[in-house]
Structure 1
Amino acid sequence: MSLTQGTSTSTRAAAVVAPGELRADPDKRGRARESRRQVKSTKSSKTMFLLILPFLILVFLFSYLPLAGWVTSFYDYRPALGMSGSEFVGLQWFEMLVSSPTQLRQIGQVLTNTLAMSFLGFATSLLPVFFAMLLNEIRAPWFRNSVQTLTTLPNFISWVLVYMIAFSLFSTTGLVNSVLHDWGIITAPIKFLDTDQHVWLTMLLWSLWKGLGWGAILYLAAITAIDPALYESARIDGAGRFQIMRYITFPQLMPTYVVLLVLSIANMLNNGMEQFYVFQNAFNKEYIQVLDLYVYNIGITGNSLSMATAIGMLKSLISVLLLVAANAVAKRARGTSII
């Protein structure tokens, strides 16, 4: 009985000493805490990875897997024969792009249209910033929300419906011509849509109408992240609303604007084709045909999928180079890069 009691006493003594030793050893306690932190961080990282895994799969399926189709540019591809039955022609389609004077002139005009639309977009890229700043200054919440909703809704309207609106308003028998004729201002209808005059400006205005409100959303979110103490300090110093917008809100939005500008420079050759496809006609086709629409017309209308793939492949490679160059310029100007 005494031996058992002695053993129990020794065990309790060891149990009492062990925590003391742990408290006396800060290194051991720190290692235990660090181990628990690493386990918790590992579990959190695995959870975050599982959350983004579906999106990574979608990016792979829709952005990277289709790159396998670039092999079509090295074949005289015939859909009826398939890839195995089509003739391998090597760099023939790439050589045709630079060997034909007619092809070069056409591509030159297409690139002019594409770059003109892109530079007009750059020139008006500050409009969403100013619109967000003005929208933020509206004090009545109901009016601010109404304006934001009305200016954002056009972004969710397809370009087909936008063209229907444009046709109803600006065709030769549309509302605008009818009103001008009834008022005696004109005697013959004005061809707003069936003309090659001011095509770039017209497309820019429709693009702004459709995307201005949507483009301002990101800047409105950035405004909410600005430290309110800056505004309070400015008001105490006697700054007015426009001075606050100029010296606080606008500079604080510039990092966001620069990032979006760099990304838009990388997409300089990607104007999309939906807008230009629905607005094109025999009168304005020469000036409205941007690179994406040109690739579509060659591949689908012209039934030359291999040539269209070759042009699209070159466009993608040039876009990557533009992104790297724009990122290098941004890093030199801001001290940090975005990729």
Structure 2
Amino acid sequence: MTAFGDPREGVRRERLAYAAPPAGEVLVKVRTAGAGYPDAMMAAGAFPLLGAPPFGLGEEVCGDVVAVGPGSRFAVGDRILGITAFLRGWGGYAEYAYVRDGSAIRVPSPLTDEQAGGFPIAYRTAYAGLVERAGLTAGEQVVVLGGAGSSGVAAIQLAKALGATVTAVAGSPEKLEFARSVGADQAVSYRGTDLEKEIREATGGHGADLIFDVVGGETAGIAVKTLARHGRIAIVGFASGVPVTLDPVDMLLRNYTAVGVLADAHTPAGEEAAWGRLAALAEEGKLATPVGTVWSFDDVPAMIAQQTTPPPGKSVVRVAS
């Protein structure tokens, strides 16, 4: 990324040199890299964790380890998936990428390169929101906003794997059907309907025990009205452009909780536990990235431009065969 704005103008290829990875990181030769809405936010200068360009784009990859930092638990030749060092300017849309040692796992055997490349961010975020921050338990009613997006799909699959009943909220009939195809028990549209009524009916009149919110705005505000007593809303993002507005008095009277979600367990043991659980569920076939469009390395700028309104399925960049 050389300048904020249209990625078709501000993103270009450059040849870089990669030093040996520092402690806490490994260097991989990239096979695939996952894409998502954060790419569009970074291009627009709206991603809160990054400063001004230049910096590398691409938060997640699947690749083969070619060098390891001191004390790494990986070895040269391991095929891993993980989160890149994008926060220090080194992204995954590249032939090589630094990957955070503590935010990576060996690729579970059922996953293809494309599925693995699109796995880390969405599923780690879903785990943070559902398990670490909102304490999901089996038998609860979960409502997933943005149910056809990559994080929404991951939340649907993970909630189902943990024994919840899931209602997905999306827009078009195509996206509603996609949400059902990846495991949602019910799928309702936020367009042209009484969304509050639809959610209540989908949850059998109980309402939502937990809302997984990547959308914010009016849609999330309506969904909050359906929260059951002792319910929770996990605030993961605001793809609508604005976060959900909450009324503290309403929270008090209906006894519900709002939690912010950043996928970071804050301790090495916590990260290891999260990734270990995700790896086990993927190995059992309960979690698998539904890949949509596979882009070529040359088409990364055009791919980023599409991430504001992507089609169903995870966009993945094939970097090397």
TM-score (norm 2): 0.23
- Of the two, which has the highest radius of gyration? 1
The structure in which a higher percent of residues are strand is 2
The structure in which a higher percent of residues are helix is 1
TM-score (norm 1): 0.22
